[in-house]
Amino acid sequence: MKIAVDIDGVLADQVSAALLEIEKDYGQKYCKSDINRAHWSFAGIEIWTEIARLLADPEYVMRVPLIEGSQKAIKQLCRHDVIVVTARRPNAEEATRRWLNWHFPSLTQYYHARTGTKHNIPSDVLIDDLDMNSRSTGYSFPASLELKRHRY
């Protein structure tokens, strides 16, 4: 089975990392529970705009922590063909590949897809934390799993 796995929110705890930087750069402290919607903003800045800015810094990319349990989960999928699919901008790809190689050396297939288009990646299953990336209508957090062609 071919399984596509999102990075941010599934493997990488992007929101926690970004909130630390926001505290450092803007002096405003927030916690993950404050981020209650995809288009959350602080001081007039949308968090995804801030994350895009941060991801341009390779040192920041390497500091992003793991989602708890993600390494164990990927190991459990080792008999499947697992590919990484991300909407991170191309300027973050080199550092992201280094981060992946460090934490998930088995994940070597890397696909860039724009947000909302990940369901077009050729795979049987998509594991993603954002419902708009799957064809499912229900919202689930922290990760939604879409069975694209088969039921297992």
Site residues for Mg ion per CB under 5 A:
6, 8-9, 129
Closer to Mg ion at the Cβ: 16 or 44? 16
**Biggest distance spanned by C-alpha atoms of the chain:** 48
From the CB of 98, what's the least distance to Mg ion, in Å?
19
Distance, in Å, from the CA atom of 101 to the CA atom of 98, rounded to the nearest integer, reads: 5
Closer to Mg ion at the Cβ: 22 or 133? 133
Closer to Mg ion at the Cβ: 129 or 146? 129
Using CB atoms, what's the residue nearest to Mg ion?
Answer: 9
Distance, in Å, from the CA atom of 93 to the CA atom of 138, rounded to the nearest integer, reads: 30
Containing 111, the helix (H) or strand (E) segment is strand 110-112
From the CB of 47, what's the least distance to Mg ion, in Å?
13
Phi, psi of 48 (to 5 degrees): -70, -30
Between the CA of residue 105 and those of 12, 67, 111, what are the distances in Å?
A: 14, 16, 16
From the CB of 22, what's the least distance to Mg ion, in Å?
18
From the CB of 8, what's the least distance to Mg ion, in Å?
4
Closer to Mg ion at the Cβ: 22 or 87? 87
